[in-house]
Amino acid sequence: MTIQDVARHLGISWDTIKEIQKRDLTKRFSRPCLKNVKRIAIDEISVRKGHRYLTVVLDMDTGAVIFVGDGKGGDALDPFWQRLRRARAKVKAVAMDMSPAYISAVLDHLPDATIVFDHFHVIKLFNDKLSDLRRDLYRETKESLKKSVLKGTRWLLLKNPENLDPDKKEKERLAEALKLNEPLSCAYYLKEDLRQIWVQPSKEIAERVFTDWIKRAQATGIKMLKTFAKTLAAYKSGILAYYDYRISSAPLEGTNNKIKTMKRMAYGFRDMEFFKLKIMALHTTKYALIG
């Protein structure tokens, strides 16, 4: 039942029921046991218009949210580091995106932990650059034929080849766009090859695939690809660390989707501390009690 349903059933106020639940959640989730935490994932989630964010930490072994901090900078994690120290936890690996703020915070507070850059974020970053390239090429071209072919191809470029819809002739439309534009074609096929970095039988082979990809991207002479290759090379150790700890922040993305659903169903949360406690309780309940 929702808080509103319980309040109506018992004939008492919504606020009274909410405070009862908040006290219960505080008792059960405000101080999770961190002693045995070994592998974690860190990510931020937008919770309100106006760039309001929360930083969420997930225990990769239990699937539990073990911390929710205000904001998305490194300082959002300060209370979490204090609790880890008190618990004497030995964190071995951290999955996250390539946020400089999070990287700096982890290096400062968990110097012995291995940072694993989430491969879904790497692919998403490249997809964003690919979309920008398509848009720039569309603006720059003077030929009406090329413009008409490029128009509406953004989602075709981002789709996996196996997901192209034959009924809509998406494969043919994509092939036509790539045939007419060499820079777009180079970027598209490198996008598909980029995924191969994470599906190799060993770290040594993955490193060779990684190095080959960097060289091919640089050899195209395309500014976007050369810049991305330089960025990727700078994060090499964290990308290949996937073969030391096969973790990603994908489970945390799933949790973030649950958080967004909970927020929509509740039409927003006026009490942010209550909202954070509800997030902490997500992994233990199939259905959240929502106001």
Tens of pLDDT, residue by residue, the chain (291 residues): 778 888 889 998 888 888 888 888 888 887 888 999 999 999 988 877 656 888 999 999 988 899 999 988 889 999 999 999 999 999 999 999 999 999 999 999 999 999 999 999 999 999 898 888 877 776 766 655 555 555 656 556 666 667 667 776 667 766 666 565 667 778 888 888 899 999 999 999 999 999 999 999 998 888 989 999 999 999 999 999 999 999 988 888 778 788 877 777 665 567 788 888 888 888 764 333 333
- Phi and psi of 41, rounded to 5°? -125, 140
- DSSP strand pairing (93-96 vs 39-48): parallel
Spatial CA neighbour of 91 closest among 114, 63, 68: 114
Neighbour order of strands in the sheet with 39-48: 65-70, 52-59, 39-48, 93-96, 114-117
- The pLDDT, as a whole number, for residue 25 is 85
Three-state secondary-structure class, residue 59: strand
Count H helices and E strands in the chain, helices first: 14, 5
Spatial CA neighbour of 141 closest among 150, 130, 152: 150
- The pLDDT, as a whole number, for residue 146 is 56
Q: Please state, in angstroms and rounded to a whole number, the distance separating the CA atoms of residues 290 and 56.
A: 20
| pTM for the predicted model, two decimal places | 0.77
Residues 6+ apart with CB under 8 A from 111: none
Q: What is the CATH number of domain 3-118+248-284?
A: 3.30.420.10
Is the distance from CB of 39 to CB of 56 less than 8 angstroms? no
Q: Please state, in angstroms and rounded to a whole number, the distance separating the CA atoms of residues 245 and 266.
A: 37
- The pLDDT, as a whole number, for residue 49 is 67
Spatial CA neighbour of 113 closest among 98, 103, 100: 103
Q: How far is CA 129 from the centre of its chain?
A: 17
- The pLDDT, as a whole number, for residue 286 is 37
